[in-house]
Amino acid sequence: MVTGWVEDVRPYLQRSVVFVAPVFEGVGLRGKVLEAWAMRKPVIGTSLSFEGLSPREGRTCFMADDPEQFAARVCELLENDELATKMGTMAREVVVNSFSWDAFGEMYDKIYQDILQPSHRSNLDRDSMLKAV
């Protein structure tokens, strides 16, 4: 079913078994891939669909750039409920651990803590003093 623009994709994702992301150029679906993963949906897409998302082929997604292989992977997920469920669960873990607000907050907290460490500041002070000499 092709719906066009919708206010909220979650009801559609909830009813789906597999999320298909055939991106061949440009951008646009990567955010939707993360939304599908967050809802524990297995995703089949082209390699461009997962650029920058840390995909794990066969574990969190299937990647296929060839039309026949793409269709075969979609069928595989539709026919194998256990594989689809396992892949969706692992994909959800990736989103929670790497792309959630908490994950980003922890990453930025670590960056700021590293910057504010006294040993880091003393190295900066020592370097500036050496340059001044």
Q: Where are the domains of the chain?
A: 1-99, 100-133
Give the residue among 74, 4, 72 at the shortest CA–CA distance from 41: 74
Helices (H), 39-80: 67-79
Please state, in angstroms and rounded to a whole number, the distance separating the CA atoms of residues 21 and 18.
10
Average pLDDT of the chain to the nearest whole number: 85
Which CA distances in Å does 2 have to 5, 61, 131?
Answer: 9, 22, 63
Any idea which fold 1-99 has?
Rossmann fold (3.40.50)
| pLDDT, position 121 | 53
pLDDT for 68 beyond 90: yes
Check if the beta carbon of residue 98 is closer than 8 Å to that of residue 55.
no
Distance CA 17, CA 84 (A): 8
Q: What is the rounded average pLDDT of the residues 111-118?
A: 85
Higher confidence at residue 114 or residue 70?
Answer: 70
pLDDT band at 75 (very low <50, low <70, confident <90, very high): very high
pTM of the model: 0.73
C-alpha to C-alpha distance for 33 and 49, rounded to whole angstroms: 8
